[in-house]
Chain A
Amino acid sequence: MTRSQPVYTVTQINTYIKSVLDGDPRLFGVYIRGEVSNYKKYPSGHHYFSLKDQTGVLRCVMFRSNAARLRFRLESGMKVIAYGKITTFPRDGQYQLYVNALTPDGVGELYVAFEQLKEKLYREGLFSAEHKQPIPRYPSSIALITSSAGAAVHDMIRILGARWPMATIKLLPVRVQGQGAAQELTGAVRYANRWKLADLIIIGRGGGSLEDLWAFNDEQLARAVYDSVIPLVSAVGHEPDVTMIDFVADLRAATPSNGAELAVPDQIELWQHLDQLTLRCCQSITAHLHQKKRDLTRLQQSKALTEPMYSIQERRAFLDHQQRRLIHGLQQRLSVEKTRFASFLAALDALSPLKVLGRGYAFAKNEQGEVVTSVASVELGERLSLRLADGTLGCTVMEQNLFEETEQMRRSHGCEKEII
């Protein structure tokens, strides 16, 4: 070993290596695909992990400020594409990737495409609640659009059979993932509608990766689902998976099994419902009959039927009463009038001149029938008729004596007395 070459310190060579790396523009901004391993998040907020592939490992650090922009939760085992610069920290002598940005490998683009399509279809109104159709209560046939192999179709047929054996299941077998799956799914939805194959469509598949479920995010499939005049239930993947047709379908189920449960009534509940309806029929008719029986009894016990003469008697009694009142009123009036008449008669009687004649007075009438009131109005020898109480006397005037003035006054005074 010769000493012709210079000797460097560790720090010197590390610093040199750093300068070499930093001088290469290709390492300054580089995309690297790999799988995350040994992922650790430090309390400082920095993320430390390695990217690996089958044969190599690359140490990575993502500082807190960059990590804050991550749209997903980083985990070991994830396939990602990292963007950053490769450099070294002279003290450690190890190079690493300083990660600026990180997206899940493959999914990133799909995710963006999904969100863009969702926005577009939403704006077109494909998700509108008004467009959604009600699911038939008692479907008699159900079109299943799914793979004919696998657990999903088995689970759906089993659950549909247990809950609602009334419905005929029509399976339209399709590929549910991979090349051509979206076209087959779309074709099956349109085919079922073209031939009015069923009252209800269930379209779905079991769980899988985002890529596995990707056919259900297809735009043409979403439009076929929107156009379906047969009510449609989407039943794709597991609970948290959301595909485009979930937004367009008339009903979204979380899983294929859930789809089968939501699509049909449960026959056990229906049995109970039928029993209940029958019972209510019986109760109503019994109540109605009892009511009518009560009405009949009430009518039978009414006075009109038990004492048919009652109302006649009642009216007759009323008539009698009125008659009595009439007669009584008439009699009353008659006696009042009688009394009044008698008092008039008495008064008349008291004033009658005949009464005066009874006491010995008389009055004289001349031949003309005029009452004579003065001696001077009579001639000697004239005939007068003298009226007494019980008859008349024919008289001839023999003499005339005119009373003195005083005598006449006294007499008239006497007359007054007489009247009193």
Chain B
Amino acid sequence: MAAKKKSFEESMTRLEEIVTALERGESTLEESLSLFEEGTKLAASCSKQLDQAEQKVLKLSKGSDDTPVEQPFEENLP
């Protein structure tokens, strides 16, 4: 499942390439079918990523050796 390792941006870029290639219609039927399969998988994986996305908010502070230290950010609304 190579498609799952791609970042969202890479997946979207590839998906857009695939749609363009399919619409240009210059590939063989075999190529088109495999592009179609890849495209629908990418679309599904992107949808899933969107669906499952939950905003994470971290507050960063500088550690003793300059490294960033993450902790959840709790908002104190005025």
CB of A274 within 8 A of CB of B47, answer yes
Q: Taking the complex as formed, is A289 at the interface, i.e. its CB lies under 8 A from any CB of chain B?
A: yes
A169 at the interface (CB under 8 A from B): yes
List residues of chain B with CB within 8 A of the CB of A167: 55
- CB contacts (< 8 Å) of B16 on chain A: these are 277
Do A284 and B32 touch across chains, with their CB atoms under 8 A apart? Answer: yes
Q: Is the CB of B68 within 8 A of A151?
A: no
The reply to whether A170 and B58 form a contact with Cβ atoms under 8 Å apart is yes
Q: Assess whether B33 is in contact with A285, with CB atoms less than 8 Å apart.
A: yes
B8-65, CB < 8 A from A: 8-9, 12, 15-16, 18-19, 22-23, 25, 29, 32-33, 36, 39-40, 43, 46-47, 49-50, 53-62
Q: How far is the CB of B39 from chain A (nearest CB, A)?
A: 4
Check A271 against B43 for contact (C-beta < 8 Å): no
Nearest chain A residue, comparing its CB with the CB of B44: A278
> Which residues does chain A contribute within 8 Å of B76, judged by CB atoms?
148-149
Q: Contact: A166 with B50, CB < 8 Å?
A: yes
Asked if A90 is at the interface of the complex by the 8 Å CB criterion, the answer is no
Is A289 a contact partner of B29 (Cβ separation < 8 A)?
yes
Q: How far is the CA of A270 from the CA of B46 in the complex (A)?
A: 10
Known: A168-B56, A171-B73. A277 touches B22 (CB 8 A): no
Q: Are B59 and A277 in contact (CB under 8 A)?
A: no
Q: Is the CB of B36 within 8 A of A197?
A: no
Interface size of A in residues (CB-CB distance below 8 Å):
43
Asked if B29 and A278 sit within 8 Å, CB to CB, the answer is no
Within 8 A of B (CB), among A113-163: 136-138, 140, 143, 148-151, 153-154, 157, 160-161
- Chain A residues contacting B62 (CB-CB under 8 Å) are 191
Contact yes or no, B75 A154, CB < 8 A: yes
- CB–CB A197/B60 < 8 A: yes
Inter-chain contacts of B60 with A (CB < 8 A): 143, 170-172, 197
Contacts of B25 in A (CB 8 A): 284, 287-288, 291
- Is A148 touching B59 in the complex (CB atoms < 8 A)? yes
B57–A169 touching, CB < 8 Å: yes
| Contact A281 B73, beta carbon cutoff 8 Å | no
Inter-chain contact A166/B53, CB cutoff 8 Å:
yes
Q: Which residues of chain A have C-beta atoms less than 8 A from B36's C-beta?
A: 281-282, 284-285
What chain B residues lie within 8 Å of A292 (beta carbons)?
29
Interface residues of A (CB under 8 A from B): 136-138, 140, 143, 148-151, 153-154, 157, 160-161, 165-173, 191, 194-195, 197, 267, 270-271, 274, 277-278, 280-282, 284-285, 287-289, 291-292
29 contacts between A and B (CB under 8 A): A138-B7, A138-B8, A140-B9, A148-B73, A150-B78, A157-B57, A161-B57, A165-B54, A166-B8, A166-B50, A166-B53, A167-B55, A168-B55, A169-B73, A170-B59, A170-B68, A171-B57, A171-B58, A171-B73, A191-B68, A197-B68, A271-B47, A274-B46, A277-B39, A281-B18, A284-B19, A285-B32, A285-B33, A291-B25
A-B residue pairs, 3 tightest by C-beta: A284-B22, A161-B55, A165-B55
